[in-house]
Amino acid sequence: MSAPLSRAEIRRVVEAAMAEDAPFGDVTVAALVPADAVAVAHLVAREAGVLAGAEVFEVAMTSVDPTVVVTLHAVDGDTFQPGDRLASVEGPARAVLQAERVALNLVARMSAVATLTARYVAEVAGTGARVVDTRKTTPGLRALERHAVRCGGGHNHRFSLSDAVMAKDNHLALLDDVTSALREAAERLPHTTHIEVEVDRLDQVEPVLASGVVGTIMLDNFSLGDLRTGVEQVAGRATIEASGGITLETIGDVARTGVDVISVGALTHGVPAIDLGLDVDVRLGGSGGAVS
């Protein structure tokens, strides 16, 4: 099971994003927005989706000034419709306006991943197959995007190259005897290290499984017919993962071949941000007059 998204990881991402966006403060608000102006804002959905990143939004909106108050009206994993208010913000206008873009960028990105994941998960309902992500994540945002996948009902693959052995075609091409090489590798590894091997032909399956040390075998870019044959050939000796070119249109058929796991790079790779907006009302402190 993947670890929950930590507050420390959220702060790390938000601090880096704020340093990039306002390295020396926001000169626009400093020049134009009165120091005593107060902002009241609402995070509003412009389209339907699944929320991910509520806590990230809160941390980002309070990162400039901790006196900013964020009230969440939904939690991660909740579905929303156009017009729904997902959060409210109140505090010094300068701080709210400076943090607005970073907060929106992160929650919109994460919610897009969760929304797309939920669509993939719905397509495999009743099959027993898990939908999992890949390492095709935005550099620096992997923990957030992986959390978003879980919010959409999906699961996570290995988090990094350090977490498990995953031998792909480029690795196998260097080996004369795959069976022996896998056995020797297992002897050098801690007993808790999971070993997965990717194959792209049916004739590669048996030499991999003959090693007796492989926990997962990935059938990469297999046709539906070959996936069904592969499931029969493996016969429960390892977890079977299907991968390669999986789409919303094909994932249901892939799941029905009997595979255990389906990895989908599209969950995090190139998904367009969902349309969330921050409706802001700025007023002069104590005057009741609107600034913007």
Tell me: the pLDDT tens digits for 139-181? 999 999 999 999 999 999 999 999 999 998 888 877 889 999 9
If you average pLDDT over residues 195-206, what whole number do you get? Answer: 95
Between CA 165 and CA 186 the distance in angstroms is: 10
What pLDDT was estimated at residue 286? 55
What pLDDT was estimated at residue 2? 62
Pinpoint the residues of the chain covered by CATH 3.90.1170.20: 7-120+272-283
State the fold for domain 7-120+272-283.
Aldehyde Oxidoreductase; domain 3 (3.90.1170)
Q: pLDDT tens for residues 110-148?
A: 999 999 999 999 999 999 999 999 999 999 999 999 999
What pLDDT was estimated at residue 101? 97
Per-residue burial over 80-113, b = 16 or more CB atoms within 10 Å of its CB, e = otherwise: beeebebbbbbbbbbbbbbbbbbbbbbbbbbbbb
Task: Give the residue numbers annotated as catalytic, written as ranges.
Answer: 101, 136, 168, 198, 220
291 pLDDT above the threshold of 90 = no
Six-digit token string for 41: 């804002």
Query: What is the reported pTM?
Result: 0.93
The CB density around residue 217, as the number of other CB atoms within 10 Å, is 23
Pinpoint the residues of the chain covered by CATH 3.20.20.70: 124-267
Between CA 95 and CA 121 the distance in angstroms is: 38
Q: pLDDT tens for residues 205-236?
A: 999 999 999 999 999 999 999 999 999 999 99
- CATH 3.30.750.24 is right for the domain spanning 124-267: no
What pLDDT was estimated at residue 292? 42
What pLDDT was estimated at residue 289? 47
82 pLDDT above the threshold of 80 = yes
User: What are the phi and psi torsion angles at 287 (to 5°)?
Assistant: -100, -25
pLDDT-above-70 percentage for the chain: 97
Whether the CA torsion 203, 204, 205, 206 is positive or negative: it is positive
283 pLDDT above the threshold of 80 = yes
What pLDDT was estimated at residue 228? 98
86 pLDDT above the threshold of 60 = yes
pLDDT averaged over the chain?
Answer: 94
CB 260 within 8 A of CB 130: yes
